[in-house]
Every structure is written in C-alpha cells, then in structure tokens.
Structure 1
Amino acid sequence: MPRNRREEILLAALDVFGERGYQGASIAAVAERVGLSQQGVLHYFPSKDRLLAEVLRLRDERGLDVIALGNSGGTITLDTISAIIDYNRERRGIVQSFTVLSAESVLDDHPAADFFRDRYRESREWMADIVRAECGPDLPGGVTPEQAAPLLLAVMDGLQQQWLLQPDEIDMPGLFRAFLALLRANVAPPGGREGDGGASPE
C-alpha cells in the first residue's frame, strides 16, 4: 500500500501517463483515480509538469531498488541490469509509462525531453564503464565499450516495447541475456581461455 497520499497520487499518475501519454493525461484523471478533486492533487503537485517530473523520478527509483538483488552490494553490473529486466516483467505499468513517455519526449517542447536526454547520456557513460570493466576494451567485431553502451540501451528499450505488445512471445530477460553472451564472447571464463568454455589445455 502507498505510504502516504503523495505517493498514492504518484502511483496513480504513473498509471495514467502510461495509459494515455503526457498529452492525453490530465490532472482530473489522476484525481479521479485517488478520489480527490483537481485542487487536491494540485495541493501536492502545483502543475502537470511538476507531477510528470516526480513520476519520472519515482519510476527510476522503483527501477534501481532492485540493485539489491543478488547481493550486489549496490554495485551495478551487467548481471544487475539483467536482473532489473527480469524484475520488470512484474511491473508492466512502470515499463509502459517509461516506453510511452520516452517516445513522446522526442516531440518539440515536451516537458520530459531534458530528463530523457540527460538520462540517456548518463546511462551511456556508466554502461560503457561497466562493459569495459567486465568485458575489456575490445569486444567482438571491434566494437568499443562506448559503442556497446547505446546498443545495450537500444536492446533494452526495444525488447520492452516488443514485450508490451506481445508478452507471450517475447522472453525479455532471456533475449537480453543472449545479447550479453554476444558481448562476452571474447571474455575468458574463470580458470579457462577465451572461447574454450574453461577446458584445460591438452
């Protein structure tokens, strides 16, 4: 259950934005979901833009809280990202809201445009660092970590969209793990050599 009225409004707005997009959503629709008047919602969030900003922040917080999975100690790894994607199967509303709003943000003067530009820029930077740390500077096909980072994001977002449309046909976590296997193709397993599956030399 939501901890307080403010969080209840944010969770309702997350659903409304996910269902209708920013343009189609309204303060009135959010108010109806939580049994408040429009003025009641505006008491907590003085504008639709402010409400959107807080919804986007909530979405990211709800995505990153899974970092604790797998006893990662708060360190983000490629396996952590894979775990987040697995976890997202249980949070269709959050995935839907992100997909709708990120697509809408390419429109001129969209209030979330700066948020998504900054988010993608920062994500590319830390993903490149993770890829370099786990897979080294030279990836299959001569791909660099800086090139792999936007490809990872593209795979994540593309899988989410296809999964939203055909959840019974798209194994989002499994396909993402398959893509990670491609990135790791040149990484020697513990105790073995590159590509030898860990077998001892003859």
Structure 2
Amino acid sequence: MTTQREEILLTALEVYAERGYRGTSLDLVAERAGLTRQGLLHHFPSKKKLLIALLEFREERSRAYLAADHADKDWPNQLAEALTFDHRMPVLAEVHSVLLAESITGNDLDQQYLHDHQHTLEERTVALFAERYGPRLPSGLTPRTAATAVLAMIEGMQLQWLLEPDQTDYPAIMRDTLSVLLGSAPEDSIAE
C-alpha cells in the first residue's frame, strides 16, 4: 500500500513527464493528487523540496534495481543496466540535471543538499572501489580517481541522453568505457 506522500510523488512524476520541469506547478500537482495547495505543501513545503524528494525517489529505485539480483555481475554491465533502467523515467534525469545546474550558482539550503548529496555519492563510490579493488583498480587508477571519472561520465551521459533521447547506444558506450576505467574489459568488448 502506498502512502499519501508516495502518491504525491507518483503524481508529480506524471505531471513532470507531461509538462517538463518549467511547465509544472505545485498547484497542478496538488490538483492532480486530489489535494489543496496547502495539503501538498504539508508534505513538500516548496517546489524544490518536491524535486529533491523526486531525486531521492529516483535514487531509491535505482538502488533497489541494482540490489535485486545483480550483486555478482561485473560493475560495467551493472551500471549500464542501471542507466537503461533510469531511462525508463526520463523526467527524473531532467529534474536531476536542472537542480544540479541550479545548485552551482546558488547557496540556499536546497542547493546545499545537492552539493552534500554529490559529495556523499562520491565518498560511497570511493569506498566501494577501495573495498573491491584495494588501493589500485586493475586499470591502475586509484579509487578516488575512478569514482570521480565514473560519476562525471554518468552525469555527462545523462545530459547527452537528454539532448539526444533517440540515440540508444548510451548503455553500451557506458559499459565499454567503464570496462576500461575499472580495468575489467575483455579485449573484444571495447567499442571501436
């Protein structure tokens, strides 16, 4: 059974998918969710708070997907599958990209959340790489260098996909590039 908060998030996703980031208002989300504006604001006090909750929802869905039965797969394939999964809800990638861009120029608490989130994500990735590979990955990169490169590639790949949504080979490009970065590429799987 879903909670009212989850219902609001699912409704907001539908509205964002239809109208995009700029075309979505809290009033429209509230109306579609069967709430007053005040009812919506009780759960999400601002449009940015709603957007941040959507980003957290996206991350939870991705983590659940990755944890489902993929723990033993090699990481390049696992991350490529996560990208494919993420592309089923393009509005979340759009919301993430818009908020990330806004966080670069501002300093309010919502923007600080995104800075903190990116830092936490990088530290988790460094820790995962260090745990799996030790001080050096098979590619020779340190866990920190590999984590920075992988996260930058994921962000960049999302932006490219938002600009060119009809291009379908992004997961394969990601898999092959990650295979090189992580040092686990079979010779014949590298894209030419």
Q: TM-score range by the shorter chain?
A: 0.7 to 0.9
**Structure 2 SS opposite 1:106:** helix
* Deviation at residue 135 of structure 1 after TM alignment: 8.1
Query: Any conservation in 1 of the 2:54–2:92 contact (CA below 8 Å)?
Result: no
**Structure 1 SS opposite 2:148:** helix
* Deviation at residue 84 of structure 1 after TM alignment: 1.2
Bigger shift: residues 103-112 or 42-51: 42-51
For residues 150-165 of structure 1, what are the structure 2 equivalents within 5 Å? 150-165=148-163
**Structure 2 SS opposite 1:167:** coil
Note the aligned Cα RMSD (angstroms). 3.4
Give the letter aligned to residue 84 of structure 1: A
- After the TM superposition, list the runs of 4 or more consecutive aligned residues in structure 1 that deviate by more than 6 angstroms: none
Measured in 2, the distance between the counterparts of 1:184 and 1:163 equals: 23
* Deviation at residue 67 of structure 1 after TM alignment: 1.9
For residues 81-92 of structure 1, what are the structure 2 equivalents within 5 Å? 81-92=79-90
- The equivalent of 2:71 in structure 1 is 72
* Deviation at residue 175 of structure 1 after TM alignment: 0.9
Instruction: Return the match for 2:181 from 183, 190, 193.
Output: 183
Given the two structures, how large is their TM-score scaled by the length of structure 2? 0.76
For residues 13-92 of structure 1, what are the structure 2 equivalents within 5 Å? 13-14=12-13, 19-20=20-21, 25-72=24-71, 77-92=75-90
Distance 1:53 1:165, change over 3 A: closer
Measured in 1, the distance between the counterparts of 2:178 and 2:123 equals: 18
Measured in 1, the distance between the counterparts of 2:89 and 2:185 equals: 35
Distance 1:16 1:115, change over 3 A: farther
Bigger shift: residues 82-91 or 128-137: 128-137
> What do the CA deviations read for 1:156-193 (whole angstroms, capped 9, x no partner)?
011111111212225221111111121244x598xxxx
**Structure 1 SS opposite 2:167:** coil
Bigger shift: residues 95-104 or 148-157: 95-104
Bigger shift: residues 156-165 or 83-92: 83-92
Stretches of structure 2 lacking an aligned partner (at least 5 in a row): none
Measured in 2, the distance between the counterparts of 1:72 and 1:163 equals: 26
- The equivalent of 2:4 in structure 1 is 5
Distance 1:12 1:103, change over 3 A: farther
Number of positions where the alignment pairs a residue of Structure 1 with one of Structure 2: 186
Stretches of structure 1 lacking an aligned partner (at least 5 in a row): 190-194, 198-202
Measured in 1, the distance between the counterparts of 2:27 and 2:74 equals: 39
Query: Any conservation in 2 of the 1:124–1:149 contact (CA below 8 Å)?
Result: yes
Distance 1:148 1:122, change over 3 A: same
Measured in 1, the distance between the counterparts of 2:80 and 2:134 equals: 15
